[in-house]
Amino acid sequence: MKFEDYRISPEIKKSLEKLGFKKPTDIQYKAIAPILKGEDVLAIAQTGTGKTAAFAIPVIDMLHVRKSSKRSNGIKCIVMAPTRELALQLTEVFEQIGRHTRVKTFCVFGGVEQGPQIAKLEAGIDILVATPGRLFDLVSQGYIQLDRVEVLILDEADHMLDLGFIHDIRQLIRHLPRKRQTLFFSATINETIKELAYSLVNKPVRIQVSPKDPVAKNVDHSVMYVDMDDKRFFLERVVKENPDKKILAFVRTQVRAERVVKAMERVGIEAASIHGGKEQRDRTDVMKRFKSGAVKLLVATDVSARGIDIPGVEYVVNYDLPDQPENYVHRVGRTGRGTQKGIAVSFCSPEEKPILDEIQQYLTKDIKVLEVDKEDYEATIDFSADAKYDWRALMKEAEEGEAAAKKKKGKKKR
């Protein structure tokens, strides 16, 4: 079945055609029909399966059809997302799909002044995409009224719980009409998520899309054994051997992210970092520069691993292995999106071997090992501009030493 065969508005079909959407993915095929019927949906699907469009297409269509020529007041749909980056990305997808419709989408999140957001809300919108904290703040202050909400969507619900948003979510539910459609999307399911989901949904259609191999077949992923102190040399090599590729490198902490950026700058590689310690304005600017290709290397913490779809990322480097095994899948899933091919390599130091074992246990298979012989390993360090003993400097020093020795010998002869 193709999108052109669906009973959705011509305006949406026009947008899908421009976006290159021809046939629905598995999650889209299973979710669109029940959502259009007004049913609650509980969907378990990994990131990268096309789930944003799975709920955006039917929700925009329903709101577009219901809207009369005169704008009806009030927010009709709330979309909750765990991070600012994901909220902005979801907003972009809703805007792209709803471009030719009368449906207006807006995004609110913390870390920035709320004044401009309030002004936009007062102008009137249909779909509000928000992070739980800022949404709860604006509802508490009376700037957002939820009494006319018809659809509630929770995206990456498991990650919202990981970040401690469950209290905000439960508080917000009290402000919503009991009679509403609820769409609950999560990458994983456990007892806590199940309890939250079934407290929100009513006789839901349950959808589960979980491929045998959690890593997409388009991603060629491998592991390389590298000492902790040598990782910067190997990242430098990856970047210099792939000068035209967008590379996303993941590290464990904010401090590590800044150190890696400085290490790359010392060897003449422009890099940018993104993590929770940065101001929202800086994070937005960095994402724009990386998406446009102005910066080819982005160093990130796991704040960017969940749900973020950055077009054209051809290479992912796990500079540090993730603490949570499932985050390995989210990280390498930043490349090989859709029909594109991608490469992911993980640097594993001896102290990280237990983490690697956990990841392989989670994947139920071993990750391919990239063997690096001793000579190649040493050459990678020796050829680095940041190596403590730069071979070029040593050669020059040796040549100057020989020249000085010859000169001295000549003087003695005279």
Q: Can you give the residue ranges of every domain in the chain? A: 3-209, 219-383
Task: State the DSSP H helix or E strand holding residue 77, giving kind and residue range, or none if neither.
Answer: strand 77-80
**% of the chain beyond a pLDDT of 70:** 88
Laid out side by side, the sheet with 342-348 consists of 271-274, 297-300, 246-250, 313-318, 342-348, 219-225, 368-369
- The residues, ordered by sequence, that sit 6+ positions from 72 with a Cβ below 8 Å of its Cβ are 66
Residue showing tokens 């049913």:
39
Radius of gyration over every alpha carbon of the chain, rounded to an integer in angstroms: 26
Report how far residue 404's alpha carbon sits from residue 77's, in angstroms, rounded to the nearest whole number. Answer: 79
278-288 pLDDT, tens digit per residue, is 887 888 899 88
Query: What is the structure's pLDDT at 135?
Result: 93
When pLDDT is averaged across residues 27-31 and rounded to a whole number, the result is 94
Report how far residue 410's alpha carbon sits from residue 122's, in angstroms, rounded to the nearest whole number. Answer: 88
143-164 pLDDT, tens digit per residue, is 999 999 999 999 988 888 877 8
More confident residue, 136 or 72: 136
Q: Is the pLDDT of residue 214 over 80?
A: no
- Sign of the four-CA dihedral 106, 169, 288, 24: negative
350-408 pLDDT, tens digit per residue, is 999 999 999 999 888 999 999 999 999 999 988 886 665 454 454 555 566 666 666 65
Q: Is the pLDDT of residue 120 over 80?
A: yes
Q: What is the mean pLDDT of the chain?
A: 87
Report how far residue 52's alpha carbon sits from residue 31's, in angstroms, rounded to the nearest whole number. Answer: 11
**What CATH topology corresponds to 3-209?**
Rossmann fold (3.40.50)
Query: What is the structure's pLDDT at 329?
Result: 87
**Based on the number of CB atoms within 10 Å of its own CB, is 38 exposed (0-12), middle (13-18) or buried (19 or more)?**
exposed
320-351 pLDDT, tens digit per residue, is 999 888 889 889 988 887 668 899 999 999 99
Report how far residue 81's alpha carbon sits from residue 358's, in angstroms, rounded to the nearest whole number. Answer: 28
9: three-class secondary structure by DSSP:
coil
- The closest alpha carbon to 35, from 181, 146, 145, 150, belongs to 181
For residue 34, is it left (φ>0), alpha (ψ between -120 and 50) or beta?
alpha
Query: What is the structure's pLDDT at 99?
Result: 94
More confident residue, 110 or 248: 248
Superfamily of domain 219-383: P-loop containing nucleotide triphosphate hydrolases (3.40.50.300)
- Amino acid 108 reads V
Q: Which residues of 92-119 are buried (b: 16+ CB within 10 A; e: fewer)?
A: ebbbbbbeebebbbbbbbbbeebeebee
Chain centroid, CA 99 distance in Å: 23
Residue pair 301/275 in contact by the 8 Å Cβ criterion: yes
Report how far residue 355's alpha carbon sits from residue 369's, in angstroms, rounded to the nearest whole number. Answer: 15
* DSSP secondary structure letters along 254-290: HHHHHHHHHHHHHTT--EEEE-TTS-HHHHHHHHHHH
Q: Please give the sequence-ordered ranges of beta strands (E in DSSP) within 86-228, or none if there are none.
A: 105-108, 127-130, 151-154, 181-186, 205-209, 219-225
Report how far residue 8's alpha carbon sits from residue 26's, in angstroms, rounded to the nearest whole number. Answer: 18
176: three-class secondary structure by DSSP:
coil
Q: Is the pLDDT of residue 231 over 80?
A: yes
Number of residues assigned to the chain: 414
Residue pair 105/56 in contact by the 8 Å Cβ criterion: no
Report how far residue 116's alpha carbon sits from residue 8's, in angstroms, rounded to the nearest whole number. Answer: 34
Q: Provide the whole-model pTM.
A: 0.74
More confident residue, 251 or 73: 251
Residue pair 310/340 in contact by the 8 Å Cβ criterion: no
- Sign of the four-CA dihedral 107, 326, 211, 331: positive
Residue pair 68/57 in contact by the 8 Å Cβ criterion: no
When pLDDT is averaged across residues 154-179 and rounded to a whole number, the result is 86
- Sign of the four-CA dihedral 253, 346, 215, 364: negative
More confident residue, 363 or 212: 363
